Amino acid sequence: MLHSFMCILSLHDDADSRRPRRRMSTNQCHGEQTLVPFSSFPTSKMTRNVLLSLWVIVGVVVGGVLGEVEEEIGVGAERYRIEGRVVRPDSSLVSAAEWFASTKVFTNIGHFGFLREDGSFVINNVPSGSYVVQVMNPTFIYEPLRVDINSKGKIRARAVNHIQPSNVVQMPHPLRMKSMGPYRYFLEREQLRITDFLMNPMVLMTVLPLALMMILPRLNDPETRKEMEQMQMPKMDTPELSEIMTSLFGGGSTSHNQGAQQKTRSRPNKRKEK
């Protein structure tokens, strides 16, 4: 938990500036990161790593992919292949041509894998390094995966964690990309619902006392009424109908607006929950 916090801070200071900054330097953050053990991954000699000395001090030699890799793309490097399968959701209704033409797998440096009839794909010509593999589809969300290929061609897939790049949650290698559901590109139109209108506090505040005023006197039997009249209360006739109407409609229309506003405000919260 500690090192992740430091990484967040260090993000601001990845750059040098002429002015001194109050935040932490990046090296510290990196030092923290390298202490995370990778027991699940076989060790090998690390080549061309700047932080070699640091590693020696720690006394561990870990595969070059994990610490810090500057991938050199293209220059005579051995090429590897990433394999996997994209599962087409049952709710996908488009034609085969549209599905296969609009769905492909890509890495963050621009390699493509095209889908076969059964959904499997191969990304060829990938040099060793670390890549984010994503499915490009306009309708369905697919979780991206990070694929590490070390200099010996060993391939490991893990969940993408941009904030803590060293945190490893291993995934199976022939990748299995499953949709997490459709994209929701559109907002939903607010609809005028009668319950929204009635359950509005403003409406309740006006309507309930009104109802009490109107109905309560009638419920009483004539004797109590007479008693009440005798009590010489200030003239408590039924209020004028015009007033009722104006208050009802006036209150009603403003309360409707408020209801609408509340709805718009409540919407994003709902989304966050999802």
Identify residues 185-204 at the interface with other proteins (CB under 8 A).
185-190, 192
In Å, the largest CA–CA distance within the chain is 108
SS3 11: helix
For the bound state, the minimum distance from the C-beta of residue 139 to other proteins, rounded and expressed in Å, comes to 6
SS3 119: coil
Q: Give Rg (Cα) of the chain.
A: 33
Q: How far is 111 from 104, CA to CA, in rounded Å?
A: 10
Q: How far is 168 from 41, CA to CA, in rounded Å?
A: 10
Of 144 and 217, which has the nearer Cβ to other proteins? 144
Q: Which of 35, 60, 159, 163 binds other proteins (CB under 8 A)?
A: 163
| Site pattern 82..111 for other proteins (x: CB under 8 A) | --------------xxx-xxx-x-x-x-xx
Binding range to other proteins, per CB under 8 A, among 158-166, 202-210, 211-219, 221-229:
158-166
For the bound state, the minimum distance from the C-beta of residue 226 to other proteins, rounded and expressed in Å, comes to 20
Q: How far is 152 from 96, CA to CA, in rounded Å?
A: 38
- The residue type found at 8 is I
Of 220 and 257, which has the nearer Cβ to other proteins? 257
Q: Which of 54, 132, 171, 202 binds other proteins (CB under 8 A)?
A: 132
- Angle subtended by helix axes 26-34 and 2-10, to nearest 10: 150
Site for other proteins in 25-64 (CB under 8 A): 26, 30, 50
Q: Which of 11, 60, 87, 180 binds other proteins (CB under 8 A)?
A: 11
Structure tokens at 5: 């916090």
For the bound state, the minimum distance from the C-beta of residue 172 to other proteins, rounded and expressed in Å, comes to 21
